[in-house]
Chain A
Amino acid sequence: MQGFFTSETFARAVEFFSFQYSFTVYALLASILVGAVCAVVGAFLVLRGMSLLGDAVGHATLPGVCAAFVIVGAKEMGALMIGALVSAFIAALLVGAISDKPRTRPDAAIGIILSVFFGIGILMLSYIQNSPTAAQAGLDSFLFGNAAAVSREQLYLLAGVSVVLISGVAIFFRYLAVATFDPVFARSIGIPTRVVHYGLLGALSLAVVVSVQAVGVVLVAAMLIIPPSSALFLTKRLPGVLLIGALLGVLSGALGAFASYLWEGVATGPAMVLCAGFFFGVALLFGPRGMFKDRGGRRVRLAD
């Protein structure tokens, strides 16, 4: 990247918005959907203090992808997705199983599952890459994501999963809200908190699995954590957190896809995360519950 913004960059911007290539449209739509679905599921993770579980689940998709590839022997997207889903869900369950036991720590449990599953994934990935079957090309795009590689079928899958998850959150909104903010009360009025918990783990695994093709396993956690966390600086109410978080996720996704098209070598995942981080910074500084308001409030109180 010689000049940050050259005439070539401008030409690429025009090219992007003319939508003459279907893959740019797919990339844009995929990134938008990823931003929305991750933010909606992530909001509940953040509020339940389970943010980094998303990181572990994201990393844990890699061994599933590789195992599916070894079993099927080709880059069959459906199989890879199912493999990723299975290993992601197992990882989420294992974190819970380890955290329960004495002489373990919940944070260490996340770290153990994250690193060991990722280690297994790296081991299998390198094994596949060293093996003579060369059909594995592009398997490592799962690491940092490549929205431009999203196919029409994957886009449909992503759209379907997003619709299911978001409407699921809308339908079970009361359950989720009560079980998140006051689990004891939720149990007393007969909400099956266990079912809600495992449902959330399932939703998390699904959201992560459909997102990794676009953002990559390493950074999918950011799209789960950062948009809802930014929304928490803007509003106190849960519906607001969900809506604003989704909006910020969509904006970051779209801008990230655009930026990664403009500048060669910029992977989609990191670009989306930097956009999300930018919005977080703005919300942290200028949000109604952010730092400047904070100071202002204190000053008013002092003046009283």
Chain B
Amino acid sequence: MYDLLIEPWSWGAWMWRAMLASVLAAIPLAVLGVFLYLRRMSLIADALSHVALLGIVVAFLVTGSMEGPVMLAGAAAVGLVAAISIEALARRPNVRSDAAIGIVFTVLFAAGIILISTSVHDAHIDTQCVLFGNPLAISNRALWMLGGVAPAVVLGVIIFYRWLSVSSFDPILAASIGIPVTLVHYGLMTAVSLTTVASFESVGSILAIALMIVPAATAHLLANRLSTMLMVAVAHAVLSAVLGVYVSIWINASTAGAIVVVGGALYALAFLFAPHGVLGRMIRRRAHRAQTRPESSTPPQQIG
């Protein structure tokens, strides 16, 4: 037990850094994911985290720099362009919203991949790293980015909690009481883009989506109130991150992959055993049937 749990911490600073990076990425992703989930926009998370790759590359091609703020700005800009074009496409009568998501993000992602492999050899953008992340080898730059973005996102959500919650549950009411619904929407989109980029080196673009969707979905199985849902989602994300780092060390495999697999296993547990989960409903249905059976065997009484 000691060997498995405590010893890795004595192997060097990288263990601390890996844990810090994973947890710092998991918390804001889970928080934003809850709002995306409630707005039925989980797959926008998928789109934006793919598109952020193009944002980084474009920012590098324009400025020639790979500084944190430049990367964040590029990703936010391209993410906004993607969000706006998805909405514009979905408004057309012959394009469904899910097809619009699929079209925009695959094209922009393909453009990002091609640019990386052809024009930006000298930028040290490692495709494997950006896509799948590696918290065990996280750079100082990425840690600083996470350290800035994670508190900023959490603080932003706390400050704008009312606006976010009302506009997520009832956008029409929100608009009627003067909440800038469009602004909240694009603010959320920008926050998603920023957090994805900041978490690239730890979880990678493709698996960032897992940390946005799976904690929120788990929390919805377990919680009835938004505040509890947020807390459960964060707890799920942190637990997946910590256990995931351990698992990846134990079996010597991708950390991001391990984090997602642990998160998925926790979701499966909630899906089966939550009060509203599959087993819970099965038991309740059986109990209900047992209760009603004697009554149904007696002949129906005549009324009047």
Binding site for B on A (CB under 8 A): 1, 46, 49-52, 54-55, 98, 101-105, 107-112, 114-116, 118-127, 130, 143-144, 218-219, 221-222, 224-226, 229, 232-233, 263, 265-267, 269-271, 273-274, 276-277, 280, 284, 289
Residues B251-285 near A (CB distance < 8 A): 251-254, 256-261, 263-264, 267, 271, 276, 278, 281
Q: How far is the CA of A276 from the CA of B103 in the complex (A)?
A: 9
B194 to chain A, nearest CB (A): 20
Binding site for A on B (CB under 8 A): 37, 40-43, 45-46, 89, 94-96, 98-99, 101-103, 106-107, 109-111, 113-114, 117-119, 131-132, 206-207, 209-210, 212-214, 216-217, 220-221, 248, 251-254, 256-261, 263-264, 267, 271, 276, 278, 281
- B271 close to A98 (CB less than 8 A): yes
Q: How far is the CA of A207 from the CA of B37 in the complex (A)?
A: 30
Contacts of B42 in A (CB 8 A): 105, 107-108, 110-111
A255 to chain B, nearest CB (A): 13
Cβ-Cβ contact count across A and B, 8 Å cutoff? 191
List 5 A–B pairs whose Cβ atoms lie within 8 Å, in order of A's numbering.
A51-B101, A119-B210, A120-B260, A122-B257, A124-B253
Given contacts A115-B214, A277-B107, contact A126 B253 (CB under 8 A): yes
Q: How far is the CA of A119 from the CA of B99 in the complex (A)?
A: 24
A16 to chain B, nearest CB (A): 18
- B267 close to A51 (CB less than 8 A): no
Given contacts A51-B98, A122-B254, contact A104 B103 (CB under 8 A): no
By DSSP majority rule, is chain B's interface helix, strand, loop, or mixed? helix
Contacts of B216 in A (CB 8 A): 108
Contacts of A116 in B (CB 8 A): 210, 214, 260-261, 263-264, 267
Contacts of B264 in A (CB 8 A): 112, 115-116, 119-120
- A114 close to B46 (CB less than 8 A): yes
Q: How far is the CA of A88 from the CA of B42 in the complex (A)?
A: 21
B58 to chain A, nearest CB (A): 15
Closest residue of chain A to B114, judged by CB? A270
Of all A-B residue pairs in the complex, the 6 with the closest CB atoms, nearest first, are A119-B260, A115-B210, A123-B257, A116-B264, A222-B106, A277-B107
- B99 close to A225 (CB less than 8 A): yes
Contacts of B103 in A (CB 8 A): 222, 225-226, 229, 277, 280
- A266 close to B213 (CB less than 8 A): no
Q: How far is the CA of A118 from the CA of B207 in the complex (A)?
A: 8
Q: How far is the CA of A187 from the CA of B46 in the complex (A)?
A: 35
Given contacts A1-B118, A112-B213, A277-B110, contact A222 B102 (CB under 8 A): yes
